[in-house]
Amino acid sequence: MVELRKLRVGLDTDNQGALLATLHLRLVLVERILAAQSQDPLICTLRVEVANGDRTDCSVRNDGALMVGNRLYVPNDEAFKKGDS
């Protein structure tokens, strides 16, 4: 069970005592995009505009990711696009 907790597997029991496990997976690429978004000044500005209601063509997910429609907004950074970051 210790190994499962290290992997961030949620463990719980139901009313009858059965053990339930939940595992939330996130793609490495999505994690990298989120990290790059947080460092990009334009994206930070866009997030503020979305929060203020000044921009309706974008949205911000619960995890803070800036979205355009149903797509992640990927920073315009050549090093990121090449996989150097």
How far apart, in Å, are the Cα atoms of 48 and each of 25, 58, 79? 28, 11, 25
Predicted TM-score of the model (pTM): 0.61
How confident is the model at residue 69, as a pLDDT? 92
Number of Cα atoms under 13 Å in the Cβ half of residue 10:
7
Q: Domain spans of the chain? A: 2-82
Nearest to 46 by CA among 78, 29, 71, 37: 37
pLDDT digits (tens, 9 = 90+) for 9-60: 666 667 776 656 565 656 778 888 899 999 999 999 999 999 999 999 999 9
The larger pLDDT score, comparing residue 46 to residue 80, is at 46
